[in-house]
Structure 1
Amino acid sequence: MEEFFDTHNYIAYPETIVKLARELIKVVDDYTSRKITNEDLRKVILFYADNSPDKLFNGSDYNITIKRKIGVKRLRIIESLLNGYQHRLR
């Protein structure tokens, strides 16, 4: 999976919430411009949800910074991919 991140120039482990938001924007925009497939998008979003839940989520909702930075349309795409996803509490 990390090879996929390198190939598409995504950061696998963003340091901050703002950097994660930038990566989510880049990934969703690549999907909407057909640079990556639906399955690739799903894998990347699930990777971030599994490896950066503290940055992506705040309780049972998305982090407010993520929501504000990525926008409503991108958030809808991410929500549809994470429908039924249950993140672990740490």
Structure 2
Amino acid sequence: MEIIKELGQRIRCIRKEKNLSQERLGELSSIHTNHVGAIERGEKNVTIESLIKLTNGLNITLEDLFKKIEFSTNKNPVHSTKNK
């Protein structure tokens, strides 16, 4: 799964655990409700600034947010092996 989608699902899960609507999270985070929804659906790349706002709104740390997200280093290799 793409990291953006995983991150969005994690934000949605935490929001629901805290019984917050997207609208309320948007208010607490100073992020428009439509943008919160797009982030949760994995439709928008999210900036570090927005992540910090969201974690503040959720009253969690960035570490808490990323705890259950798996990072794969094999999906997008930085170096091409084409000329080897």
TM-score between the two structures when normalised by the length of structure 1: 0.29
Larger radius of gyration: 2
Please state which structure has a larger fraction of its residues in helix. Answer: 1
TM-score between the two structures when normalised by the length of structure 2: 0.31
Please state which structure has a larger fraction of its residues in strand. Answer: 1
